Structure 1
């Protein structure tokens, strides 16, 4: 009697085709945007600077009415360009609305320096509002960080976290305050050209500085309250 060799039912045989190895595609990693990208990147800087440059340059050589028309045309052209690049409609139209309101104020008052008036008073409002949150022991950067994390963290109870957000919010307040102080002084002096230079120099560059400090405060908060799993530190001062 011939002995028959038994195979395990799941064992591969010579007749079975080779099984191709299963490859798992790598999970794409999400790149964290740089600080400059978070404020709009180089194009964001250009978008904020071009209307100012056009207005100041045109005002030096053209009548005020023509200057207003040229600045509006420049703002409209820049908006169309940004829309064609696929930027968000709200972001692209926001800059056009700002130029239109500033130009409308100039047309109403007849003074070229009023192109910068709204921005000056926005800087003052920003300075007062952000500094008030620090005085109230609820710095606005901390409120924003906690809101982004579901509002579940007692971040004010951690002295290091509260101090970090005090620093970040004070830095933001100083940016607003510096813009108001310098540009209001130039506004009173009726130095329209210098106002344009100050608006550009104190725009995106100072925003990047404030954002760098804010990102540091956000990361410090995340490390202490989220990554480490800690919910509270030393009690905060009242």
Structure 2
């Protein structure tokens, strides 16, 4: 059985994804990034932390309140039988922030792991795109059931993934460029409220641009369906061969 990623490239740039393609793109983005609820869940613990700290200036109480809320949101996800990734990704992020703040005694360090993560992701999006393997394609390829077929067989989608990765990378790096100076110069309450304010809007912009790029791109190649079709054809061929051998044996 040949690998679908190695078949000749198909000219799909003229294909129009239509309404179904746009809906599928929207659904895939929601699945990959947790949707609006996921963005809210990653924002609310940080909001609770800075709100509580603004009132009482107590790092420990603020950290415990944020972590308790993140755990409650994670458990609620599990009760609803959501994916474990969406259930606990926010919990781990908050736990790292709590650990940093507790160890250093600096409330601003609650947000430091998130800043470092944003820097790493921004660089990852830029570097992988320059290397010809845009990170957004690696993230969404399995969701669209196309795996890496877009690299060699679907140049239109590869271009869309590259544009989306550039958008995510530049948005992440711009956000970091704004926040890191504030980490050093602003006081904790100012810094925390700016972080909360910049949490959802850049993400929405990145998701919207990704949707625009992919909605205009050729449809994905479902490599799983292709492999199933190949396996079915091979089984049918084997059955025909066995039937022919059986008829030949009977005629003898």
Which sits farther off after the overlay, 176-185 or 192-201?
A: 192-201
Aligned twin of 1:78:
73
CA distance in 2, matches of 1:71, 1:153: 41
Specify which of 119, 122, 125 is matched with residue 120 of structure 2.
125
Q: How many residues align?
A: 197
CA distance in 2, matches of 1:69, 1:157: 48
Can you list the C-alpha shifts for 1:141-162, whole angstroms capped at 9, x where unaligned?
345566642434554884x555
Can you list the C-alpha shifts for 1:35-57, whole angstroms capped at 9, x where unaligned?
88443334223211211111101
Can you list the C-alpha shifts for 1:71-127, whole angstroms capped at 9, x where unaligned?
222222333333333333342222222211111110000000001101111111112
**2:207 corresponds to 1:195:** no
Flag the structure with higher helix content.
Answer: 2
- Normalization by structure 1: what TM-score? 0.68
Q: Which has the higher contact order (CA 8 A, sep 6+)?
A: 2
When residues 145 and 73 of structure 1 are mapped into structure 2, their CA distance, relative to the original with a 3 A threshold, is closer
CA distance in 1, matches of 2:150, 2:29: 29
Which is greater in Rg? Answer: 1
**2:18 corresponds to 1:52:** no
Instruction: Name the Cα RMSD after superposition.
Output: 3.2
Q: Does the CA contact (< 8 Å) of 2:74 and 2:91 recur in 1?
A: yes
Matched ranges for 1:96-107 at <5 A: 96-107=91-102
When residues 167 and 93 of structure 1 are mapped into structure 2, their CA distance, relative to the original with a 3 A threshold, is closer
Aligned twin of 1:170:
166
Q: Does the CA contact (< 8 Å) of 2:151 and 2:158 recur in 1?
A: no
Q: Does the CA contact (< 8 Å) of 2:134 and 2:165 recur in 1?
A: yes
CA distance in 2, matches of 1:107, 1:75: 17
- Normalization by structure 2: what TM-score? 0.65
Aligned twin of 2:109:
114
